[in-house]
Amino acid sequence: METYYDDNFGHYNSDGYDPEELHEFYNHMQRNSVWKICKQCGNKVKIKHDYAICNTCADNNERMGGY
């Protein structure tokens, strides 16, 4: 099983998915992401150009009930 991490979606793996398709999806996301400063935590992250915060902050917001 392959495991990937990116700042758009966090950790994900090939469990239940075609490993080649998942690898291509990961590469696609990386190609379409840019280095930015997360508006919430201030870390430099590689996220889609239209995202303002990283996955870690988005997950924290969901657990705490909002941004």
> What mean pLDDT is predicted for residues 13-28?
89
pLDDT value at residue 12 = 85
Q: Are 34 and 47 in contact (CB under 8 A)?
A: yes
Higher pLDDT, 15 or 67: 15
Task: Give every CB contact of residue 26 below 8 A, 6+ residues apart in sequence.
Answer: 4, 6
Q: Are 40 and 67 in contact (CB under 8 A)?
A: yes
The span from the CA of 53 to the CA of 30, in Å, is 16
> What mean pLDDT is predicted for residues 52-61?
95
pTM (whole model) above 0.85: no
Token output for 48: 């889609």
pLDDT value at residue 66 = 58
The span from the CA of 67 to the CA of 43, in Å, is 17
> What mean pLDDT is predicted for residues 42-66?
93
